[in-house]
Amino acid sequence: MTAAAASGGAGTGDPGPPLLDAHLVADRGGFHLDVALRVRAGEVVALLGPNGAGKTTALRVLAGLHPLTAGHLTLAGADLDRPDRRAWIPPERRPVGVVFQDYLLFPHLSARDNVAFGPRRRGADRRAARAVADAWLARVGLAEHARRRPRQLSGGQAQRVALARALAVDPTLLLLDEPLAALDARTRLDTRAELHRHLAAHPGAAVLVTHDPLDALVLADRLVIVEDGRVVQTGDAATVTARPRTDYVARLVGLNLHRGHADGHQVRVGGLTLTAADSVAGEAFVAFPPAAVVLHPARPDGSPRNTWEATVAGVQRHGDNLRVQLDGPLPVVADVTPAAAAQLRLVPGLAVWAAVRAAETRAYPVGR
């Protein structure tokens, strides 16, 4: 991917218009989607959000499987869907390749003929389409599996065939719908690295729909967070992970997040005043990692800043540590070692004192 793509188009010179310029307004049942999306050539954008946020609806609209109610969908300067002009291009005529979550390979066709299907539909003769398919199967490392049918392939191999099939039509826009969700952990790791390599080489725009933050952080240049059919945050991984703006994003990146009113380094949150490393004025978010929360059996000596009494609401395993859910004036989660948990005898209902290090407490304005 280009440096311009990695920075969202900022940097040296005028990056020009986006390859994909869309305002997706659509109704599906009782759900309303209203999402603006712009993606440049060579850029991978990940749509992230909880279940029911609208990610799949957005992908279906981009693919032409669901019409827009309003707005527009323009790709490489051509209108694919524009209700106000009664312009709509059917899926098979769009320069779009799709990798579906369950791959949807044709079970009666070989890997070669699955990949050749797109070129054949676009007018290539059988020999030419198979030549394209063979070239793509070689690029994804499956040349020796060309004659196998989907049931004879592993999950990772089927995913690569699906990717080859999507890329074989030379798509201006590549859509990936949870492309790694059906794989086991080990296969997922290897396939993610392989997918990253192919996305880096793709000259067009790509939109990845996923609920997995690791897939998004590894594969995408930019994240677009969608909740309830609307964009709630967008930016590169560093920006989004450092400054979450909703509870969903905070949970996604593993931070405690609260909203309050700041006056310099002091942020008033509910009935508590927290000291933050940053100086802010006005409405602000304050965020800190669970590892920054230290638990004490009694009020710490010297009454350090950022302390309050809390009640243990739950304890569960989290990697090599334990994650402790705390209720009280500032509901938070804390990560503690098993040894610390045993020493404190942490059980639901136990009263403890929580302290958060000011140096690890970040504050930033709500409006930016």
Tens digits of residue pLDDT in 72-104: 999 999 999 999 999 999 998 999 999 988 888
Of 152-166, 243-257, 300-314, the one with minimum mean pLDDT is 300-314
> How confident is the model at residue 304, as a pLDDT?
64
In this prediction, residue 15 has a pLDDT band, given cuts at 50, 70 and 90, of low
**Given 3.40.50.720, 4.10.220.20, 2.40.50.100, 3.40.50.1860, which CATH number is that of 254-365?**
2.40.50.100
Q: How confident is the model at residue 300 (pLDDT cuts 50, 70, 90)?
A: confident
Q: What is the pLDDT at residue 214?
A: 86
Is the pLDDT higher at 74 or at 11?
74
What is the pairing mode between strands 78-82 and 70-75? antiparallel
**Res. 221 pLDDT band, cuts 50 70 90:** very high
Average pLDDT over residues 5-12: 39
Q: Considering the domain 3-95+171-248 in this protein, what is its CATH number?
A: 3.40.50.300
The full set of domain ranges for the chain reads 3-95+171-248, 254-365
Whole-number average pLDDT of the chain: 90
pLDDT of residue 367: 75
Share of the chain above pLDDT 90, in %: 74
The token duo for 113 is: 């003929």
With 90 as the cut, is the pLDDT of residue 229 above it?
yes
